[in-house]
Structure 1
Amino acid sequence: MTEFIVPWIAPWAEAWLPAFLLAAGLTLGALVTLALGHLLGEAWLAPLRPPLAAMARAAPVLLPLALPLLLAAPALYPWAATPLPGTTDWYAPEVFRLRSLALLLLWAGLGRLLARPRLRGRTAGAALLLLVLTGALAMEDWALSRDHAWTGSLQGLALVVEQAGAAMALATLVALRRAMPGEDARTGLERALLTFAMATLWLWFVQYVVVYAGNLPREAAWYLRRSEAPWGWVKAGIALPALLAAIGLALVPQWRRWRLAAVGALLLVQHLAHLAWVVRPDAALTGNPTPALADALVPAAMALAVAVAWRRSARPA
């Protein structure tokens, strides 16, 4: 069946992948942030709970959004089109699809659980552990396995941390439209955003240093593809300056509303640019051209579907 479907989906697949990863990453990040807030009993969870809970309850929308991605796996992942020698069934297309659906079903169930106003610390801790492990696995599968030499790195974990920071940043921007959080919540929120930003910078730096020190050709090729135009400018001109600016603003004492909003916006810009830098350069490995129309329509349609799902899931916690 997929042999007949893939040719129709393939031209749109390269545009669908980053759009889906953005939606899935923000949902995963919301779940991680909720679990962390419940576990630590943080004051910042109260003003952020409504938007985060709406994102968590809308997690089932990822299932239909993932279907085109899973059906088009041979057009996106070289190992799905031509099995690599010496590999196990872990990256067989059928196993990949079943594993992806199982992860999304788990996140949907955890979303219902974590959206509750109160949750025991042990339950939140177990949920957080599950989310970090399955999130790193999902990012390895969906975002990083296109270059098979790159799987098993720290990047899956780094993406999960970055997505949690982006989800918290988005929830902060939504919360600021309603009211400024109280002093305790604001102080905790400032520190949490700074921690996520610093952790993101550190994890990506450590990964680069490990590859640079190892001087391994296959891993170095991953970075070389991303140093070519225009992707080198996306990283050096957008993602990195936005992250450093967010950290710099977060370190300024005596916060104000505009500064808190600026940090949140900068973290979102950094995540968008960095996600494109991670995913899109590997399109050269598949050789599937992407119509300009797909790059415009697919993200817009995905954003509309997710926004509608979040809005329908929003209700008083």
Structure 2
Amino acid sequence: MKWLLALALGAVALAVSFAGSAALLEAWLTGFLLWLHLGVGAIGVLALGHLLREEWLAPVRAPLEAAARSLPLLALMALPLLLVPDQLYPWAHVEAEPGPRAALLQPWAFRLRSLAYLLVWAALGWRLARPGPQRGASVLALVLLLPTATLAGFDWVLSRDTSWYASLQGFSMWVAGLAAALAAAILAARTHPSSEGLPGLERALLTLGLAVLWLWFTQFIVVWMADLPEEAGWYLRRLGEWRWVQLGLALPALLLAIALAAPPDHGRWRMVAVCWLLLVQFAAHLWWVVRPDAPLATPAPWLDLLVTGGLGLAFALWWRAGLRRLS
């Protein structure tokens, strides 16, 4: 079942690559990044749980392991990015000024790095999803995840603005993915966490939520204090017609999630609310970061929903199959 689904998705990705419009590819990029961060975030949460020997990992371990093993499917979702980067990245069809950045932003180098990220993550997901404690593998996972996730954030998202050099955005997107992956795993868990694991999950959700907020604020302050026109322009584009996404949706959802997560002894309804709010803020913030730099076309809302929902359905079916195998 899982491999039939993978073959079907691979065929769809190839069709989108060779026949898709710019708007369709733009919607595909956003949907791919959304589900990719859940898979890669699950690897990071597993590594942290194993390394710290936290009791909260037990009730959410199966959903996280199933998500961590979704990287083969997510690699197929990446095909349009690898096959037709010129539709999504301005540097792929414009000759850049000579320099180290121009050498990095070549289609062949972009494809090699992307394949390396996906292979490393797939291997880490497979390793951390094995039974038993995985402390040694967890150390290796965190050592590899930090640079690969940061570089992937630059390659797949931030490089669409060739004047953008900020380094914290890729890292902050990965941390937001950790929070979203843990929230999704809690919602997917078959039972509500026991009293032993509940305080740890409460602290983990609150810590990740605060880390996301701190990274957003730090990156903004660094750019503001540096007073660099190119990097300020990145924010100005997003504080125009796109400001409602961040200021009206992502930021209120994050602040409300932190406010609900701060008091101890969560009831089930409060933990569920915190998880949904973290997922909403993650999706909205990702859209806010990615979409304003669309080089050729902006998809209609119905196309965004259709493509993201279709990729999400494939991800959910793979995840469900993995959960059944682990149970």
Q: For the superposition of Structure 1 and Structure 2, which TM-score range results when normalised by the shorter chain?
A: over 0.9
- Aligned pair 1:30/2:31, yes or no? no
Supply the distance in 2 between the matched residues of 1:267 and 1:33 (Cα, whole angstroms): 15
- Aligned pair 1:113/2:127, yes or no? yes
1:100-249 aligned at under 5 Å gives the runs 100-175=114-189, 178-229=190-241, 231-249=242-260
1:68 counterpart residue number: 80
| 8 Å Cα contact 2:32-2:78 kept in structure 1 | yes
Supply the distance in 2 between the matched residues of 1:7 and 1:81 (Cα, whole angstroms): 18
Match of 1:94 among 86, 101, 108: 108
- Residue identity in the other structure for 1:173: L
Higher mean C-alpha displacement, 69-78 vs 46-55: 69-78
Give 1:30 deviation, angstroms. 0.3
Give 1:293 deviation, angstroms. 5.1
Give 1:123 deviation, angstroms. 2.1
Give 1:10 deviation, angstroms. 2.6
Supply the distance in 2 between the matched residues of 1:93 and 1:238 (Cα, whole angstroms): 35
Supply the distance in 2 between the matched residues of 1:300 and 1:235 (Cα, whole angstroms): 21
1:262 counterpart residue number: 273
Match of 1:50 among 46, 51, 62: 62
Supply the distance in 2 between the matched residues of 1:120 and 1:48 (Cα, whole angstroms): 15
1:278-297 aligned at under 5 Å gives the runs 278-283=289-294, 286-291=295-300, 294-297=303-306
Supply the distance in 1 between the matched residues of 2:277 and 2:128 (Cα, whole angstroms): 27
Calculate the aligned-residue CA RMSD, in Å. 1.7
- Residue identity in the other structure for 1:266: L
Supply the distance in 1 between the matched residues of 2:162 and 2:154 (Cα, whole angstroms): 10
- Residue identity in the other structure for 1:53: E
TM-score by length of 2: 0.90
| 8 Å Cα contact 2:165-2:231 kept in structure 1 | no
Give 1:289 deviation, angstroms. 4.4
| 8 Å Cα contact 2:42-2:68 kept in structure 1 | yes
- Residue identity in the other structure for 2:289: V
Supply the distance in 2 between the matched residues of 1:207 and 1:139 (Cα, whole angstroms): 15
1:305 counterpart residue number: 314
Give 1:8 deviation, angstroms. 3.8
- Residue identity in the other structure for 1:256: G
Q: Residue by residue, what CA displacement relative to the aligned partner does 1:194-227 show, whole Å, maximum 9, x if unpaired?
A: 0000000001100000111111110011011101
Q: Please give the secondary structure, in 1, of the residue aligned with 2:98.
A: coil
- The share of aligned pairs that are identical, in percent, is 51
Supply the distance in 2 between the matched residues of 1:7 and 1:75 (Cα, whole angstroms): 12
| 8 Å Cα contact 2:51-2:134 kept in structure 1 | yes
After superposition, the Cα gap between the structure-2 partners of 1:221 and 1:185, relative to the gap in structure 1 and judged at 3 Å, is same
Q: Please give the secondary structure, in 1, of the residue aligned with 2:54.
A: coil
Structure 1 unmatched runs, 5+: none
Structure 2 unmatched runs, 5+: 1-13
Supply the distance in 1 between the matched residues of 2:185 and 2:31 (Cα, whole angstroms): 19
Q: Residue by residue, what CA displacement relative to the aligned partner does 1:291-317 show, whole Å, maximum 9, x if unpaired?
A: 555323211211111111111222226
- Aligned pair 1:252/2:266, yes or no? no
TM-score by length of 1: 0.93
Supply the distance in 2 between the matched residues of 1:262 and 1:12 (Cα, whole angstroms): 32
- Residue identity in the other structure for 2:273: A
Give 1:98 deviation, angstroms. 1.5
| 8 Å Cα contact 2:166-2:231 kept in structure 1 | no
- Residue identity in the other structure for 2:265: Q
- Residue identity in the other structure for 1:316: L
- Residue identity in the other structure for 2:89: Y
Give 1:121 deviation, angstroms. 1.9
After superposition, the Cα gap between the structure-2 partners of 1:79 and 1:7, relative to the gap in structure 1 and judged at 3 Å, is farther
Supply the distance in 1 between the matched residues of 2:51 and 2:277 (Cα, whole angstroms): 27
| 8 Å Cα contact 1:38-1:118 kept in structure 2 | no
Supply the distance in 1 between the matched residues of 2:290 and 2:223 (Cα, whole angstroms): 18
Q: Please give the secondary structure, in 1, of the residue aligned with 2:297.
A: coil
Give 1:74 deviation, angstroms. 0.6
